[in-house]
Amino acid sequence: MKGEKILAKIILYNVDTQALEIFHLNESATMPYVYGRTMTVGEFRGSSRSTVLWSTTAAMEAWNATRRSYGAPIPFRYAFKRIWEGGHGRQSQHYAGVSFDVGQALTQQERNRIYNTARNLDVWSYVEPISMTPTWVHFDKRQGPPACRAGYPTLHMGSRGVYVLVLQDALNALGYNTYTLDGAFGNNTRNALISFQRNNNLRADGIAGCNTWTRLVDEAVGIGRTPTVIDP
């Protein structure tokens, strides 16, 4: 809308082109790649106070398929959070912007229908058993084999995407400056990671594997906004 203040920078990782696409949108705008007006920027943001949000085209397309098949509004309360804001598990896909907790305001019958829709479509990487989330439905579009038994994938020089954004965000929050928050694993991110590894008695190889991710998220999740957080 003309004259409406731009409030959010959206970084969307295109899984087909491997490009990191940038959008500047107000809170009432529809999220990029989302069908109709089934998810606004403000809805995706939820309670996050960040001025930059991120996700993937694959997550948006999975949402589109689910919403079309369900055929009715799917209210959701939790989608995006930055790792230092916390509120979720240690290697939560919410910090990567590819996870949705939905249906909190609906009846159990409606939640069951959303769950069955998401599971039967086979467009999500993970749909949590409804017995584990009795008052909501959780699904996410995680990518890549995890470095540990579950969680985030191994990252190294040349990696791109939302997990690099999580890595950069955590390092910056802890005072290891990557100088940017762009989702591209370059020399500055590698140098910051090596410094973190050395200071934590980890193998200083500049690769974010299982041990590095475990230590990093233990320190970064929920610590709150620090002076070194990058928030463009």
Output the CATH code of domain 8-140.
3.30.1380
The backbone torsions φ and ψ at residue 62, rounded to the nearest 5 degrees and listed phi first, read -65, -40
**Tokens encoding 186:** 């370059």
Are 146 and 153 a contacting pair, CB within 8 Å?
Answer: yes
pTM: predicted TM-score of the whole model, two decimal places: 0.95
Pick the CATH number of 162-220 from 1.10.101.10, 1.10.132.20, 1.10.10.10, 3.40.50.720: 1.10.101.10
- Check residue 1 and give its pLDDT: 42
Q: Which of 75, 41, 46 has the alpha carbon at shortest distance from 60?
A: 41
pLDDT of residue 5: 58
pLDDT of amino acid 30 = 96
Can you spell out the DSSP letters for 17-52? TTEEEEEEE-TTSBPTT-STTS-BHHHHHTT---SE
Q: Which two tokens stand for residue 208?
A: 């974010």
Looking up tokens 């009715």 gives: 72
How many Cα atoms sit within 13 Å of 199 on the Cβ side? 13
Q: Where are the domains of the chain?
A: 8-140, 162-220
What tens-digit pLDDT sequence spans the chain (232 residues)? Answer: 444 555 899 999 999 999 999 999 999 999 999 998 899 999 999 999 999 999 999 999 999 999 999 999 999 888 999 999 999 988 999 999 999 999 999 999 999 999 999 999 999 999 999 999 999 999 999 999 999 988 999 999 999 999 999 999 999 999 999 999 999 999 999 999 999 999 999 999 999 999 999 999 999 999 999 999 998 7
Please count the other Cβ atoms lying within 10 Å of the Cβ belonging to residue 110.
16
